[in-house]
Structure 1
Amino acid sequence: MQTYVALLYSIILGEGRRVVMADLKAMAEQLGLKNPRTLVATGNLVFEAPATDIADLEQRLEAAFEKTFGRHVDIIVRNAQNWLTLAAGNPFPAESALVGDQVAVRVMREPAPVDAVAALQAYVAEDEKVVSVSGDIWVVFSRARPSSRLLAATNHKRMGIGTSRNWNTVRRLAEMVDSRQ
């Protein structure tokens, strides 16, 4: 059995409707995934399954989600080792220790295009940073600006399919999968 992390792009089903994590866990169990558990109510799922192709697992989860909740949502899956590598590769450890909620990574299905990541520099405010690590996009957001231009610039159209998680969530998911190794 292999441990996996699945990240939902959105848990909003419509006006006033959100995915309940107990329902997400039940969906995973119906797919035959073992020991599904969630972290906070933002669409983070950790589970065990036989080693398989990641793209196939993403497609199965997305199809089950659409059938269960009536809406398509992109789901990014990483195996445990890949997730631990992602967490260990945090290029902003000092900032993460101080303001873990202001450091985020956009976890990509396919590596972000190099030219698109370079173009993000035009959106970086004076107190922000952005860098690509192994195709995922790490960002330090401004504490002074509640709405960063950089956040909007890291969208699907420019970067491809991905979803963002702050450092606190990345770290806690790493702890969850590391305890299963």
Structure 2
Amino acid sequence: MTVFVALLRAANVGGTGSLPMAELKAICEGLGFSDVKTYIQSGNVLFRSDEAEKTVEERLDEALGKTMGKRPGVMVRSRKELDKLAADAPFPKAKPNFLLVYFLPEKPPGDTLEKMVAPDGEEAKLAGREIYVHYPNGSGRSKLKLPALKTGTSRNLNTVRKLAEMAAAMEGKD
């Protein structure tokens, strides 16, 4: 069985999309996923499934939509993808909590960063289906404008590393 990491968009952020992690776990188990584990209250869930990544993503998004009233958007990644994202992180002088990885539903066009407006010195780099963004002053007050980020969900580098570590531990149980 493959270990998947699902990242929910707009779950438990700013008072919208409230979904207790125990409920997220129960939804995943109800879909037949096994060894379900959640990590922090921001829509991160790990599990095993024999299904293909896109099937898992679609089924989970649909089930969450029924519970939450609308589909939140779910991005599913493997441990290897998370390991690579952590290892290849650009901006080596960035604090890990100021470097966000935006997970997108599909690979953005090559000219995506040309549309970026970064008034506070933010830097970005494309990497497959993800975009790294370094917020030198933190993301909370940033005025960054990058339209491609709207369809995705972000996690800071510390969280990406922790999810990769948890997925590796689950794979080690095989």
Same structural fold, with TM-score higher than 0.5 when normalized by the shorter chain: yes
Instruction: Using the aligned pairs only, state the percent identity.
Output: 32
Separation of aligned partners in 2, 1:17 and 1:82 = 26
Deviations 1:145-177 (A, max 9, x none): 842122xx234xx45732111111111111111
- Alignment gaps of 5+ in structure 1: none
Is 1:11 equivalent to 2:11 in the alignment? yes
TM-score (norm 2): 0.87
- Alignment gaps of 5+ in structure 2: none
TM-score (norm 1): 0.84
Report the number of matched residues. 171
Is 1:112 equivalent to 2:111 in the alignment? no
For residue 160 of structure 2, give the secondary structure of its aligned residue in structure 1: helix
Give the equivalent residue in structure 2 for 1:163.
153
Give the equivalent residue in structure 2 for 1:175.
165
The answer to whether the 8 A contact 1:84-1:178 is kept is no
Separation of aligned partners in 1, 2:130 and 2:106 = 9
The answer to whether the 8 A contact 2:8-2:73 is kept is yes
Give the equivalent residue in structure 1 for 2:31.
31
How far 1:83 sits from its partner (Å)? 2.0
Give the equivalent residue in structure 1 for 2:98.
102
**Counterpart code for 1:106:** Y
Shift in alpha-carbon separation, 1:47–1:124, aligned structure 2, 3 A = same
RMSD: 2.3
Separation of aligned partners in 2, 1:166 and 1:88 = 14
* Equivalence map 1:1-181=2 (5 Å): 1-12=1-12, 18-50=18-50, 52-95=51-94, 99-120=95-116, 123-125=117-119, 127-143=121-137, 146-150=140-144, 153-155=145-147, 158=148, 161-181=151-171
How far 1:69 sits from its partner (Å)? 2.7
Separation of aligned partners in 1, 2:14 and 2:140 = 24
For residue 170 of structure 2, give the secondary structure of its aligned residue in structure 1: coil
How far 1:17 sits from its partner (Å)? 6.5
How far 1:118 sits from its partner (Å)? 2.5
How far 1:126 sits from its partner (Å)? 5.1
Separation of aligned partners in 2, 1:177 and 1:125 = 36
Separation of aligned partners in 2, 1:126 and 1:17 = 29
